[in-house]
Amino acid sequence: MDYIQIKPHHGINHVYCPGSTLTIDGKSLPCPDDVFMLPIATSFRINDFQYVGSEVHLNHQEVLDPLFTIQANWHLQPTLNLSDLLEDPILTTTKETEKEKVENPPPILEHPMTWTTLTLTVMTLVVIAA
C-alpha cells in the first residue's frame, strides 16, 4: 500500500503511512499502522517522497470576519452530557451521607484557620483594649 498523509498542526506533523518505509537520519523503519507525530522541523523520507522540515513564522495575521468566527465557534461548541454529571459522586448525596454529616461533624478545632482566626481576634482585642 502506498498511501501517505502528512498534516501539519501546531508545530507537529501528523504522519500516516501504513505499509511504507520511513527513513529519518539514514535509519529506515517500517511505518506504523497508526498516525504518529514528528516535529515540524524534522526532515524525513517515506519511500521515494522526501520531506524537508522547516519552521514557519507568521509576520501577519488576517483580521477574521466575525460571522466566520461565530460559525466556527458554534460548530466547535462542545455538548454537555448531563447524565454523566448527575452520576458524579460529589453531586449525588443520599440521605445516609447527610445523616452521617450531622451525626459526625468535622473536627472544627483541628483546622488551622480556626486557630489563626482565634489568635487574630485575641490580638485585635488586646490592641483595642490597650
Average pLDDT over residues 103-128: 79
Residue with cell 468535622: 106
Mean pLDDT in the chain?
A: 78
Predicted TM-score of the model (pTM) = 0.43
- Asked if 129 and 123 touch (Cβ cutoff 8 Å), the reply is no
Give the count of beta carbons closer than 10 Å to the beta carbon of residue 20.
19
Q: What is the pLDDT of residue 116?
A: 82
Q: What is the pLDDT of residue 54?
A: 81
pLDDT surpasses 60 at 1: no
Pairing of strands 49-51, 21-24: unpaired
Q: How confident is the model at residue 15 (pLDDT cuts 50, 70, 90)?
A: very high
Give residue-wise pLDDT tens across range 49-107. 899 988 766 666 667 666 666 666 666 666 666 676 667 666 666 666 666 766 776 66
Q: What is the pLDDT of residue 44?
A: 94
User: To which H or E segment does residue 29 belong?
Assistant: strand 27-30
**What is the rounded distance in angstroms from the CA atom of residue 15 to the CA atom of residue 127?**
71
Q: What is the pLDDT of residue 112?
A: 72
